[in-house]
Amino acid sequence: MTYCLGIITQSGLVMAADSRTNAGVDHISTYLKLFDFSQSEERVLLICTAGNLSITQAVIAALQRDLKLPDGINLHNLPTLYEVARYIGGKLRSMEEQDRPWLQKDGIDFQCNLLLGGQIKGEEAGLYLIYSQGNCIQATRETPFLQVGETKYGKPILDRTLNYETPLAAAAKCALLSIDSTMKSNISVAPPINLVMYEANTFQVQHSLRLPVGDPYLVQIRKYWETSLKVAFEGMPEIDWHPQATNPKG
């Protein structure tokens, strides 16, 4: 599995991804899942990938190949972020068209989802989730985060601490906590963690981090968070039991 998330706030974007892939528990590897296709001063484009690795790698390779061609559309000449999302969705579709029948025959999961976050000059910053089918949805003020991969463990912390007005640095910490909660409960998600924070309207990724296994900050926040939860837990009001009165009978 994998866990990637993107957060959009009034002041910018946070994108984060773990690096674990697995094809069964006896085939666990480490792969980069956060890719920066930005064009300095012009556009910021960050892509996170989850799902079938051969397909997501092929999509990333196709995006890179198009950038090297003298003509044709590519990540750097499409005029809007929505068109970039659709273009990536098109790459996904064409890879699935090629490989799906072969994978399906052997019962191999060919699904994958991508996140696209960024900003193109003349537009607001935006965040999209591109589905395996090539269609996409956009994060909005009401739902300022999107997740792909192993999404459930890390959702409660986002639901409880995050909104569109959250300061960007806090959103970045929230993303790390969400990934850490997932790693604690599910071995299919693991470091290195890649984290990028983008301040809207700067058109430059100025904050980017790779946290490997045992990174002191990762260790520190896990310890801090566990201690904080334990303290909070110990202070929880006692349950007022009403013995028997409402005993559910079989």
Contact positions vs its own copies (CB under 8 A): 32, 34-37, 45, 47, 60, 63-64, 152-153, 155-157, 159-161, 169-170, 172-174, 176-177, 181-182, 184-186, 194-197, 205-210, 217, 220-221, 224-226, 228-230, 232-233, 235-250
Minimal distance in Å, beta carbon 217 to its own copies? Answer: 6
Strands 12-17 and 207-211, sheet pairing? unpaired
Residue 247, helix vs strand vs coil = coil
Minimal distance in Å, beta carbon 100 to its own copies? Answer: 21
How many Cβ atoms sit within 10 Å of the Cβ of residue 186?
16
Q: How far apart are CA 14 and CA 182, in angstroms?
A: 17
In this structure, the dihedral spanned by the alpha carbons of residues 192, 198, 204 and 208, taken in order and rounded to 10 degrees, is -20
Minimal distance in Å, beta carbon 102 to its own copies? Answer: 25
Of 27 and 249, CB closest to its own copies: 249
Q: How far apart are CA 112 and CA 96, in angstroms?
A: 10
Minimal distance in Å, beta carbon 177 to its own copies? Answer: 7
Minimal distance in Å, beta carbon 20 to its own copies? Answer: 15
- Which element (helix H / strand E) includes 108? none
Of 93 and 210, CB closest to its own copies: 210
Cis peptide before 192 (omega within 30 of 0): yes
Of 121 and 152, CB closest to its own copies: 152
Of 72 and 250, CB closest to its own copies: 250
Cβ proximity of 191 and 19 under 8 Å: yes
Please, is 82 exposed, middle or buried when counting C-beta atoms within 10 Å of its C-beta (0-12, 13-18, 19+)?
middle
Q: How far apart are CA 132 and CA 89, in angstroms?
A: 8
Of 129 and 195, CB closest to its own copies: 195
Of 109 and 159, CB closest to its own copies: 159
Cβ proximity of 130 and 114 under 8 Å: yes
Minimal distance in Å, beta carbon 200 to its own copies? Answer: 17
Strands 207-211 and 193-199, sheet pairing? antiparallel
Of 10 and 161, CB closest to its own copies: 161
Minimal distance in Å, beta carbon 80 to its own copies? Answer: 19
Q: How far apart are CA 237 and CA 120, in angstroms?
A: 50
